[in-house]
Structure 1
Amino acid sequence: MKQYLMNINGKWVGEELESLDVINPASNKKIGTVPIGGKEETTKAIDAAYVAFESWSKRTAYERTACLKRLHGLMLEHQEELAQIMTLEMGKPIKESRGEVNYAATFIEWFAEEGKRVYGETIPSHADNKRLQVWKKPVGVVAAITPWNFPAAMLTRKMGPALAAGCTVIIKPSSESPITAIKLMELCEEAGFPKGVINLVTGSSSKIAKTIMENPKVRKITFTGSTEVGKILIRQSADQVKRLSLELGGHAPFIILDDATIDKAVAGVMASKFRNAGQTCICANRIYVQSGIYDAFLEKFAKAVKKLNVGDGTNESVDIGPLINRAGLDKVSNHVKDAVSKGASVVTGGEPITNEGGVFYAPTVIGDVKPSMIMMQEETFGPVAPVQKIETDEEAIKLANDTPYGLAAYLFTENVARGTQVIEQLNYGIVGWNDGAPSAAQVPFGGMKESGIGREGGHEGIDAFLESQYVSIGMN
Structure 2
Amino acid sequence: MNSLKYPVIQHLIGREWSGAQTQEDRVVLNPANGEKIGQIPQASAADLDRAVRSAESAFQLWRNTSPMDRSGILRKFADLLRANDTLISGWITLDEGKPLAEALAEVHSSADHVDWHAEECRRIYGRIVPSRSPQVQQLVVREPIGVCLAITPWNFPLSQAVRKVAAALASGCTMILKAPAEAPAGCMAIARFLQEAGLPEGCLNLVWGNSGFISETLIERPEVRKITFTGSVGVGKHLAELAGRHMKRATMELGGHAPVLVFDDADAEAAARALATNKLRNAGQVCIAPTRFFVQQGIYDHFMAELVSAFERVKVGDGLHDRIDMGPLCHPGRVNAMEQLVEDARQNGAHILTGGSRIGNVGNFFAPTIVDTPDDSIALMREEPFGPIAAVSPFKSIEDGLSRANGLPFGLASYVFTNSLERADQAAQNLHAGMVSINQFGLALPETPFGGVRDSGYGSEGGTETFDGYLMTKFISRNRAPVE
Q: TM-score, normalised by structure 1?
A: 0.98
Which residue pairs with 1:285 in the alignment? 291
Instruction: Please give the alpha-carbon distance, in whole angstroms, between the structure 2 residues aligned to 1:392 and 1:133.
Output: 53
What is the match of residue 441 of structure 1? 446
Match of 1:325 among 312, 327, 331: 331
How many angstroms apart in 1 are the aligned matches of 2:7 and 2:230? Answer: 28
Task: Give the letter for the 1:421 counterpart.
Answer: Q
Query: Partners in 2 of 1:33 and 1:368 — Cα distance?
Result: 42
| Most deviating of 223-232 and 127-136 | 127-136
Pick aligned residue for 1:13 from 18, 26, 31? 18
> In the alignment, which of 224, 227, 241 is matched to residue 221 of structure 1?
227
For 1:157, which of 149, 155, 163 is the aligned residue?
A: 163
Contact kept, 8 Å, 1:268 with 1:437, in 2: the verdict is no
Q: Deviations over 1:322-347 (max 9, x none)?
A: 11222111111111111111111111
* Distance across 2 between alignment mates of 1:72 and 1:165: 17
2:162–2:190 contact (8 Å) kept in structure 1: no
Q: Does 1:71 align with 2:77?
A: yes
Residues 53 and 168 of structure 1 are in contact (CA less than 8 Å); yes or no, is this contact kept in structure 2?
yes
Partner amino acid for 2:147?
V
- Secondary structure in 1 aligned to 2:430? coil
Measured in 1, the distance between the counterparts of 2:18 and 2:165 equals 21
What secondary structure sits across from 1:254 in the alignment?
Answer: strand
Q: Kindly provide the CA deviation profile for residues 204-228 of structure 1, in whole angstroms up to 9, marking residues without a partner as x.
A: 1111111111111000001100110
**How many residue pairs end up in the alignment?**
475
Q: Retained in 2: the 8 A contact 1:23–1:29?
A: yes
Residues 223-263 of structure 1 show CA distances to partners (whole Å, capped at 9, x for unaligned) of: 10011011111111123200100100101001100111113
Q: Tell me the distance in 1 between the aligned counterparts of 2:441 and 2:200.
A: 40
Equivalents in 2 of 1:326, 1:300: separation in Å? 30
Q: Compute the displacement of 1:447 (Å).
A: 0.2
Could you say which residue in structure 1 is the equivalent of 2:355? 349
Match of 1:244 in 2: 250
Residue equivalent to 1:98: 104
Report the Cα offset of residue 5 of structure 1: 1.3
Deviation at 1:271, TM superposition (A): 3.1
Matched, 1:43 2:57: no
- 1:32-83 C-alpha deviation (Å, 9 max, x unpaired): 1121113221121111000000111111000000100000000000111110
Corresponding residue for residue 188 of structure 1 = 194
Q: Give the structure 1 partner of residue 418 of structure 2.
A: 413
> Which residue of 2 is the match for residue 463 of structure 1?
468
Alignment of structure 1 residues 364-375 onto 2, 5 Å = 364-375=369-380
Provide the secondary structure at the position in 2 that maps to 1:309.
Answer: coil
Measured on the aligned residues, the alpha-carbon RMSD in Å equals: 1.2
The answer as to whether partners of 1:339 and 1:369 remain within 8 angstroms in 2 is no
2:321 counterpart letter in structure 1 = N
Q: When the two structures are superposed, what TM-score results if normalisation uses the length of structure 2? A: 0.96
- Structure 2 counterpart of 1:115: 121
Unaligned 5+ runs, structure 1: none
Q: Equivalent residue for 1:177? A: 183
Percent of counterpart pairs with the same letter? 38
Q: Runs of at least 4 residues of structure 1 off by over 3 A?
A: none
Q: Secondary structure at the match of 1:67?
A: helix
Shift of 1:437: 4.5
Task: Find 1:359's aligned residue among 356, 364, 367.
Answer: 364
The amino acid of 1:126's aligned partner reads R
Residue 385 of structure 1 corresponds to 390
SS at match of 2:51: helix
Letter in 2 for 1:436: F
Contact 1:111 1:462 in 2 (8 A): no
Q: How many Å separate the matches in 1 of 2:45 and 2:230? A: 21
Alpha-carbon offset, residue 315 of structure 1 = 1.1
Q: What displacement does 1:358 show? A: 0.2
* 3-state SS in 2 of match to 1:360: coil
In the TM superposition, what are the counterparts of 1:276-315 in structure 2 within 5 Å?
276-315=282-321
Cα deviation for residue 2 of structure 1 reads 5.9
- Structure 2 gap segments, 5+ residues each: 1-5
Q: Structure 2: which amino acid aligns with 1:461?
A: T
Report the Cα distance in structure 1 between the residues aligned to 2:82 and 2:342, rounded to whole angstroms.
40
Name the CA distance, whole Å, in 1 between partners of 2:80 and 2:196: 8
Q: Work out the CA distance in 1 between the residues paired with 2:50 and 2:447.
A: 34
The one-letter code matched in structure 2 to 1:444 is P
**Aligned residue for 2:3?**
none
